[in-house]
Amino acid sequence: MKYSINESLVKGDLFPIFTHAQSIKIEEKVFSNKDEEWEAMQTVAELTAEELIKDFKELKSIPDNLSVVVLSGKGKNGGDSLCVCDYIIRKMPRARVSVLLHCNRSQLNPLAEKALLGIEERAKIYSCQKGINQALLDSVIKTDFGGSGTINLFIDGLLGLGIRAPLKEFFLDTIEQINNYSRIDMRASIDLPSGLLEQSSAVYFKADFIYLSAIPKKAVFQGNARFGRVRFIDIGLMKTSNFNSFEFEKNSYIISSSVLKHFSKLRSPMSEKRVFGHLFIVGGSQFLPGALLMSVKAAIQSGVGLVTAFAPNSIVPVLASEVPEAMWVPLPQNNLGTLSQEAAEHILEHAKSATALVIGPGLGRTNDTEFVVQKLLQEANLPLLLDADALTPRVTEMIQKRRTKSEDIILTPHIGEFLRMTKLANISLETKELLNIIKNIGAIVVLKSGITRISDGKDVYFNTHGGPVFSRGGSGDILAGIIGAQLANPNTDGLSASILGVTLHGHAGELLARKRGQVMVRTTEVLDYLAEVIR
Beta bridge partners of 456: none
Task: List, run by run, the mean pLDDT of 10-residue segments along the chain (535 residues).
Answer: 53 84 88 92 97 97 95 94 96 95 93 96 93 94 87 96 85 96 97 88 93 94 90 84 63 93 89 93 97 98 97 97 97 97 98 97 97 98 97 97 95 97 92 95 97 96 97 97 97 95 98 97 98 94
One DSSP character per residue, 339-390 reads B-TTHHHHHHHHGGG-SEEEE-TT---SHHHHHHHHHHHHH--S-EEE-GGG
Residue 521 included in any domain? yes
pLDDT score recorded for residue 246: 65
What CATH number did the domain enclosing 472 receive?
3.40.1190.20
pLDDT score recorded for residue 2: 54
Same-domain status, 300 and 245: no
DSSP symbol at 256: P
pTM for the full predicted model: 0.95
Say whether 31 sits in a helix, a strand or coil: coil
388 with 414: CB under 8 angstroms?
Answer: no
427 with 433: CB under 8 angstroms?
Answer: yes
C-alpha distances (whole Å) from 355 to each of 328, 351, 383, 485, 501 are 17, 8, 7, 10, 17
Same-domain status, 411 and 479: yes
Final residue belonging to a domain, choices 250, 268, 287? 250
Task: Give the 3-state secondary structure percentages of the chain, helix then strand then coil, rounded to 5.
Answer: 45, 20, 40
Residue 485 included in any domain? yes
Residue 166 included in any domain? yes
pLDDT score recorded for residue 241: 55
Residue 233 included in any domain? yes
pLDDT score recorded for residue 397: 97
For residue 411, what is the enclosing H or E element? strand 409-411
pLDDT score recorded for residue 247: 64
Separation of alpha carbons 242 and 24, rounded Å: 16
What CATH number did the domain enclosing 123 receive?
3.40.50.10260
Same-domain status, 246 and 284: no
Domain of 172, in residue numbers: 15-250
Separation of alpha carbons 405 and 251, rounded Å: 28
Same-domain status, 227 and 288: no
Separation of alpha carbons 148 and 142, rounded Å: 7
- What number of CA atoms fall less than 13 Å from residue 301's CA on the CB side? 24
Separation of alpha carbons 270 and 303, rounded Å: 16
Same-domain status, 206 and 314: no
Direct distance between the N- and C-terminal alpha carbons of the chain, in angstroms, rounded to an integer = 25
pLDDT score recorded for residue 43: 96
Same-domain status, 309 and 236: no
Instruction: Encode 488-513 in three state secondary structure.
Output: HCCCECHHHHHHHHHHHHHHHHHHHH
Final residue belonging to a domain, choices 232, 250, 268? 250
pLDDT score recorded for residue 383: 98
Instruction: Encode 93-109 in three state secondary structure.
Output: CCCEEEEEECCCHHHCC
